[in-house]
């Protein structure tokens, strides 16, 4: 997504007097406070490893927004820190929040319950268009040293996590091409600078079971505002999700009578759907941020229960390895490149 | 919507100690408190008038959830109380919150800006299905003495408000039929009781300018979970909204080149759209409750500015008069029945 | 639909020599020919009765395009002629061809088979936009003496036939409003003339079983090109059809597991669907005209079998009576008006 | 598509006496007839080269259904024969009929007219599900010696032709994976046999201008009946087509005012659209076979004008080379493989 331009506004004093909150502008000060138990890391990716490792060492629980890190090495260090912390009862999780969008959670439940049978295909794409304009500014998301990669890490990481999480398998290897269509953009501070990340990344892969998986992440697909789409085709049916209609899940059930079969549009707004027991009456949709609410809820419950909440830092590391394999493959004429196991 | 079955849970003590909130279970006690400035009335309709009038007299600002009341007479008393209160700087508003769903607010702005030209047709329907099951219980929403009417007041009132608000005209008269398909239902307390309200209401009307308007409210339309749909056809284009895809607005612009014209799906999630400046990046949708957030925001701003916020109690009264005319027409073989002006 | 402007082109001689066809420009000459067994009447409605009665008397089978006639009296005469002819083995049918669009035929089969249970609602609308432009010419379809009525007969007649045919019931009465938004239009021959038919007709009705039915026919709904939509809500499910996506049928089955229920999009292009056994492989759609092909096929089979093919002239007469009741009701402030039984 | 199981029915004698047609069951006999000027080759691909070359040598015009052939070598021989024949005024074309589906033809016109600007992405997929069932029989389409390849040639060939034709560029190279999920199937003649072609093929490529292109062809995507989808993203807008809604084209125009922009659904049924001048009134859709009608019409016009009609055999050969490169790449761990120029 485009980086926020908002600057930190001071808390209104009148409001501060009525609610017990406080703010720090140096993250190290947060770690020194005894009344802070949980740290949510929302910085650009180049600071994740440093802050997360320090926070875990300081005895905090950690929610690190995705990407876990900007490199496999950083992610490995974070996993090590998380393992040490866990021995002391401190928990770490990475913020692949789309897992907690109700329609996605329902898709996982249905796949687990065998509703679509043995998987054959997964196809996943995440398309946006905020870089179509060649005069869109050169923000940190377009610089490799801060963002790690471009559409690949920003959008593709979500796809990799969702495809693996919902299918219950991990990619054995990938073949990839990437592209950058606009090479120079205006710096926010004046002048022009070089884009050092990808505008788009396309890759294919296989799960060990033989499932064929395709991915596309891109930020120059005119008119696609937030089009995270993922489809699963199985031997008994199919499921498809599109974030631009985030309260819906498409489901095809091959076992229906042949004359009445078709993709159905499940409105994932009913009492029996994941997370919906706490929300509105039937048919009343949720928004983008509710996935974050569910993430916070699940995390707090997990901490209370002393059980580490998925996705683990190890999941974040594995996604990092997939992204690294994608970049390797793209550098080697798309040749199939294995993803190392942990 | 189906009535909530939740009972009031006590506040957790640990949480209460950190946030400055309080609860009362008798509304009269609320009115006696000096630290309460604004009362939001969320009871069944039969208590609205009593509470609203008392609250305004007690010097409170009032947000009354729709329907304003269960009868025209009650609504008239409320309007009178609101007028007296306004002279003393106390403000009253009725909660037709769908006006503040961004796609609806955008539709109004586009109609006002002439984007679809002179209106010809408005068609509005609000369909749900929670009463399809003949064994659904006989709650207060199915009893005239508490709810005033059935689908007509619960759902149709929203349609009347939206059609009039977006078109900028008021209905001169209506012709109506209503129906109740399931006459007896199980009481929550045991035994069976009589349904005394409509399951569905269909009515047509005209705006003074000649626009033809059609309405349908129903709670037995299998598969329609929260299908508030409203369409406006004008001389230059059309607009259509469906609450089941609440972040979208369909727009047809007849002035486009003939070979490329068509209904477009506007994702109402962009910075230039109403209310969106305060929310997420492009393409990240909102949910049902955000309309209530916008309502609260606009109300607080209005109170701060001393300007009464629309919709006024007088708007609620006028909707009440339309509903009364609908019931009169339905009782008179659908004959066209005028809606009195205030 | 807009009237065709095509003039009769002469048959190419080279082609005529290879195929055994012939043409007449006077319909009376057709009736005198022994080698003509079946007459398809495609004139404006004001000539239907004369030609049909003469053709039946001349011993021809007759397919009369809808509307059957421009008045109830004409239609009654045609029914009488058809009854006489039937005694002599001559068959008559009226061209409500949409019955033979596969998705519509499938809807009927599913309703008959109880797939959606006891009906509660039927809502039907047929919207076009070719009269949005106030400079669209004053053709025969806009003159009462030739067309009988406007959108009501052109479009609404299809809705009435489909609603009754699919539901298996006939309207007991109706309540109606009609409107004409553009009163004068340019004559094709120069100057301006008065529009003497409706631009739009809205009506509600009931089936004897209590089903509530709503209709809207209009030709000024910007962007709606050929939007014949009809929806059936029953106690166990719903069905919805839209002619703008004519190879699809939406089906909601309430008996599905609650967490996976939703409107499904049946692609009516599969071998088990009505009429499809003679067409393309799965998923390969048909067009508008295939309903006419199916009509011809069914008619020829019926003639071969000596069995009169539905819809009968009596069905056309009954539709005519509904349309007359609509116009009566519209003239009487929308008061409910009974439809006479035959 | 699934292979037809129909056997040749004899012509009814009564009908034969009235229309000047004839039938041959040996294609060589057709070539000997002087009254045959045009041969349409509809056999499995392994016979195309033999028949086409012989027909062209016999002085016939030839329409060869796609794939042009089962191998590059065959296709080269056919191109050579076509070049020789053209010198003698005999014309050859290959049946990529989807070019003549009106929505596709409109997309090409809009791209040519700059409506979406410089292309960035093309993504094309053609998904069916008739091989989901592991007991679907082992027909000729599942044997390499007859069909050449599986989903790749059957479906992917259409994608390659459309992507190149609409973009106006040819693929420089590809990277591919293929898969076969069901290795053995029942023979129609009894017993089981081996599937020797792909069930699915995924490949990516680049156009010389830098456009990234992705392809997926598959016959085991449950619920996707005939889902040929192709999308073009450009600097000013996007276009998207889905054969399951074949009368529609989605168009996004970035130059629209920002608050009203969105994908629009163009109903490609209007007088100004390609091929529509000869068909029905606005909004009345066409079917699958109309593309073949348009192909026949364009071919007859081309023959009359003495101008060879696109797509040429050379286009068919180039598609063959792309398919060969796909298979080479799939055999080499997805490594990027160049497509030779002619």
Q: Measured between CB atoms, which of A225, A283, A290 is closest to B282?
A: A225
Instruction: Report all structural domains of chain B as residue ranges with CATH numbers, in order of start.
Output: 99-290+320-331 (3.30.360.10)
User: Which of D202, D210, D336 is the closest to A212 by Cβ?
Assistant: D202
B235/chain C closest Cα distance in angstroms: 6
Q: Are B234 and B217 in contact (CB under 8 A)?
A: no
Which residue in B1, B248, B283 is closest to A226 by CB distance? B283
Task: Give the three-state DSSP class for C20.
Answer: coil
Using a 10 angstrom Cβ sphere, with 0-12 exposed, 13-18 middle and 19 or more buried, the burial of residue A86 is middle
Please report residues of C whose CB lies closer than 8 A to that of A258. Answer: 270, 272
Contact yes or no for B106/B246 (Cβ under 8 A): no
pLDDT digits (tens, 9 = 90+) for A63-73: 999 999 999 99
Q: How confident is the model at residue A342 (pLDDT cuts 50, 70, 90)?
A: low
Q: Are C120 and B181 in contact (CB under 8 A)?
A: yes
Q: List the single residue in D200, D222, D252 with the smallest CB-CB distance to A234.
A: D222
The pLDDT of residue B9 is 55
pLDDT at B22: 80
Contact D265 B261 (CB under 8 A): no
* Contact at CB, A281 and B1, closer than 8 angstroms: yes
Residues of B in contact with C236 (CB under 8 A): 222
Q: Given B260, B265, B273, which is nearest D266 (Cβ)?
A: B260
What does the CA dihedral B255, B260, B261, B264 come to, rounded to 10 degrees? Answer: -120
**Which residues of chain B approach chain C closer than 8 Å at the C-beta?**
116, 120-121, 123, 125, 127, 129, 132, 134, 175, 177, 179, 181, 199-200, 202, 204, 206, 210, 212, 214, 216, 218, 220-224, 233-238, 252, 254, 261-263, 332-336
Considering only CB atoms, which chain C residues are within 8 Å of D243? 283
Q: Please tell me which of the candidates C115, C258, C265 has its beta carbon nearest to residue A263.
A: C265
DSSP string covering A1-14: -PPP-PPPPPPPHH
In angstroms, the separation between the Cα of residue C75 and the nearest Cα of chain D is: 27
What's the CA gap between B242 and B126, in Å, rounded? Answer: 9
What is the per-residue pLDDT across A191-234, written as a single tens digit (0 to 9) for each? 999 999 999 999 999 999 999 999 999 999 999 999 999 999 99
- Two structure tokens written together for D150: 């599986």
Q: What is the pLDDT of residues C251-276, one digit of tens each?
A: 999 999 999 999 999 999 999 999 99
Instruction: Give the pLDDT of residue C5.
Output: 45
Mean pLDDT for C28-48 is 95
pLDDT digits (tens, 9 = 90+) for D108-145: 999 999 999 999 999 999 999 999 999 999 999 999 99
DSSP state of C253: E
Residue D10 has pLDDT above 80, yes or no: no
> In C, what residues contact A, Cβ < 8 A?
106, 110, 115, 251, 253, 258-267, 270, 272-273
d(CA C269, CA C292) in angstroms, rounded, equals 17
Nearest chain D residue to A338 by CA distance is: D333
Mutation for D interface: A175, A178, A179, most D CBs within 10 A: A175
Compute CA distances A226 → A102, A289, B284, C260, whole Å. 17, 14, 7, 25
Chains that touch B (3 or more CB pairs under 8 A): A, C, D
Q: Which of B20, B224, B288 sits opposite A280 (nearest CB)?
A: B288
Question: Is there a contact between D246 and C128 if contact means CB atoms under 8 Å apart?
Answer: no
Mean pLDDT of chain A: 94
Low-confidence stretches of chain B (pLDDT < 70) are: 1-20, 342
State both tokens at A310.
């998925």
Q: What does the alpha-carbon distance between residue C78 and residue B108 come to, in Å, rounded to a whole number?
A: 51
Least confident among A302-311, B212-221, D67-76, D259-268: A302-311
Per-residue burial over A215-240, b = 16 or more CB atoms within 10 Å of its CB, e = otherwise: bbbbbbbbbbbbbbbbbbbbbebbbb
Q: Which subunits have 3 or more CB–CB pairs within 8 Å of chain A?
A: B, C, D
Interface of C with D (CB under 8 A): 1-2, 4, 18-20, 128, 130, 224-227, 243-248, 267, 269-270, 280-290
CB within 8 Å of B244: residues ≥ 6 apart: A267, A283, A285, B224, B225, B226, B227
Contact state of D233 with A220 under an 8 Å Cβ cutoff: yes
Query: What secondary structure letter does DSSP report for C213?
Result: E
Q: For D260-277, what is the mean pLDDT?
A: 96
The neighbouring-strand residues paired with B9 are: none
C4 pLDDT above the threshold of 60: no
- For residue C20, the chain D residues in CB contact (below 8 A) are 18-19
D130: number of Cβ within 10 Å: 17
The alpha carbon of residue C113 is apart from the nearest alpha carbon of chain D, in Å, by 24
CB pair distance less than 8 Å for B272 and D259: yes
Chain A partners within 8 Å of D238 (Cβ): 221-224
> Strand A38-41 relative to strand A61-65: parallel, antiparallel, unpaired?
parallel
Binned at pLDDT 50, 70 and 90, residue A170 comes out as very high
Of the candidates C249, C250, C155, C160, the one whose C-alpha atom is nearest the C-alpha of residue C207 is C160
Task: Pick the residue from chain A with its C-alpha nearest to B3.
Answer: A281
């Amino acid at each position: 997504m485009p980086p926020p331009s908002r600057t930190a506004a001071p808390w209104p004093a009148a409001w501060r007097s009525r609610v017990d909150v406080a703010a720090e502008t140096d993250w190290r000060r947060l770690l020194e406070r005894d009344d802070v138990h949980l740290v949510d890391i929302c910085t650009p990716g180049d600071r994740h490893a440093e802050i997360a490792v320090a926070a875990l060492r300081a005895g905090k629980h950690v929610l690190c927004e995705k990407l876990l890190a900007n490199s496999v090495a950083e992610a490995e260090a974070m996993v090590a820190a998380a393992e040490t912390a866990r021995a002391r009862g401190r928990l770490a999780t990475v913020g692949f929040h789309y897992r907690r969008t109700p329609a996605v959670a329902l898709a996982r439940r249905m796949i687990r319950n065998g509703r679509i049978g043995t998987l054959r295909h997964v196809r996943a794409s995440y398309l946006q268009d905020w870089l179509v304009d060649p005069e869109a500014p050169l923000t940190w998301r377009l610089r490799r040293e801060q963002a790690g990669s471009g559409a690949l890490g920003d959008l593709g990481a979500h796809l990799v996590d969702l495809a693996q999480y919902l299918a219950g398998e991990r990619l054995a290897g990938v073949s990839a091409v990437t592209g950058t269509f606009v090479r120079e953009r205006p710096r926010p501070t004046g002048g022009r600078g070089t884009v050092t990340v990808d505008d788009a990344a396309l890759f294919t892969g296989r799960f060990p079971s033989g499932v064929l998986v395709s991915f596309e992440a891109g930020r120059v697909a005119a008119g696609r505002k937030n089009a995270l789409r993922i489809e699963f085709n199985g031997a008994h049916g199919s499921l498809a999700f599109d974030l631009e209609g985030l309260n819906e899940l498409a489901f095809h059930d091959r076992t229906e009578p042949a004359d009445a079969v078709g993709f159905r549009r499940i409105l994932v707004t009913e009492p029996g759907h994941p997370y919906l027991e706490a929300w509105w009456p039937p048919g009343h949709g949720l928004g983008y941020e509710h996935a974050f609410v569910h993430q916070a809820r699940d995390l707090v419950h997990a901490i209370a229960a002393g059980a580490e909440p998925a996705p683990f830092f190890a999941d974040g590391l594995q996604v990092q390895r997939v992204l690294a394999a994608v970049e390797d493959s793209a550098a080697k004429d798309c040749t199939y490149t294995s993803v190392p196991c942990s």
